[in-house]
Structure 1
Amino acid sequence: MLTFEQVLEIFKDYLETDDEVEVLLTKRGYLRIVWPGNFPFCDDGKLCRTPEELFDLLLEDCQSYYELERTKGRRSLTPEDIRLVKARCRPYLEKRWEVEKK
């Protein structure tokens, strides 16, 4: 069974890389917050009550981060971009499968 701690460990490298995403423990679950640029306020926050919710949300965030990294926000994704982004996200899914097999 997947735990919050395992999800945070799976995405550790991504969370250290993306300065705009932060995950905080609250009384009700984990809160994922997006801090856009250097603004003093958050743009988006979502409460995740289960580890699966947190995993799915971070995987989406990670995919968006890698897409933006490829395009610099200046062009549409190409089929090659999509293939490369999926390849970069695949290790997160594989790590989850490894954890869930145990």
Structure 2
Amino acid sequence: MLSFERVLEAFREHLTEDTGVEVVPTRHGCTFLTWDDRRENWDTAEICLTPEALLDRLTGAVESYEQCRLLDGTRDPTDAERKAFAEAAERYRKRCLERP
């Protein structure tokens, strides 16, 4: 069974590396936050009521992070690069869904 703890454990490496994303466990689920360095303020605050919602949100965050890290907003990704970003995110998703 998927739990918030399992999702956070699977994405721990990403959350350590990507300093623009934080997840805060609350009594009502987990809050997903993104930081805007230019404005020095939180850009996004989204409650994830289920572990599946958090998994989806973090999977998308990995794709975005990989794209920003590689391209730094200088150009649009190629199809091959988009595929590589999606594969990186999928590796994290699989960690969550593997049996312990």
TM-score w.r.t. structure 2 length? 0.90
- Check if 1:47 corresponds to 2:47: yes
Q: Give the corresponding residue for 1:8.
A: 8
Aligned residues: 100
Name stretches of at least 5 consecutive residues in structure 1 with no aligned partner. none
- 1:10 and 1:95 in contact (8 A); partners too: yes
Q: Distance in 2 between matches of 1:29 and 1:19?
A: 21
Q: Mean alpha-carbon deviation: is it higher for 36-45 or for 17-26?
A: 36-45
TM-score w.r.t. structure 1 length? 0.89
Name stretches of at least 5 consecutive residues in structure 2 with no aligned partner. none
Q: Following TM superposition, by how much is the alpha carbon of 1:19 offset from its aligned partner in structure 2, in angstroms?
A: 0.5
| Structure that is richer in strand per residue | 2
- 1:70 and 1:81 in contact (8 A); partners too: no
- 2:32 and 2:45 in contact (8 A); partners too: yes
Q: Following TM superposition, by how much is the alpha carbon of 1:83 offset from its aligned partner in structure 2, in angstroms?
A: 2.2
Structure 1 residues 40 and 76 mapped into 2: Cα distance closer, same or farther (>3 Å)?
Answer: closer
Q: Distance in 1 between matches of 2:69 and 2:56?
A: 20
Q: Distance in 2 between matches of 1:97 and 1:27?
A: 23
Q: Give the corresponding residue for 2:20.
A: 20
| % identical aligned pairs | 31
Q: Following TM superposition, by how much is the alpha carbon of 1:48 offset from its aligned partner in structure 2, in angstroms?
A: 0.6
